[in-house]
Amino acid sequence: MVIHKSAVKRAKQNKVRNLRNKLRRTRVKNVIKRVRAAINERSPEAAQTALTAAIPVVHKAAQEGAIHRKTASRKISRLTRHVNALS
């Protein structure tokens, strides 16, 4: 249990940031699922639209520190390769 005033504040901040980052990571997973679903349906237009919507979400999560920037780049790169393979 935390005792110092600064440690109490730090614990509160960590809890809020953990929740915020969890929401951001979940949002990233959901947009990636939408792209993969469109890829599995073999629909190039839907896949391209979903990818266009997913890229800013993934970049934003990396920018805010929810995921690592190289992880974001890797996810976007792999999704883009799969979408381009449909065409």
**pLDDT one-digit tens code per residue, 19-76:** 999 999 999 999 999 999 999 999 999 999 999 999 999 999 999 999 999 999 999 9
- Per-position DSSP letters for 37-66, written without gaps between them: HHHHTT-HHHHHHHHHHHHHHHHHHHHTTS
The CATH architecture annotation of domain 5-86 reads Up-down Bundle (1.20)
pLDDT at 2 over 80: no
pLDDT value of position 1: 66
For the record, the structure tokens of 60 come out as 């934003």
pTM attached to this predicted model: 0.86
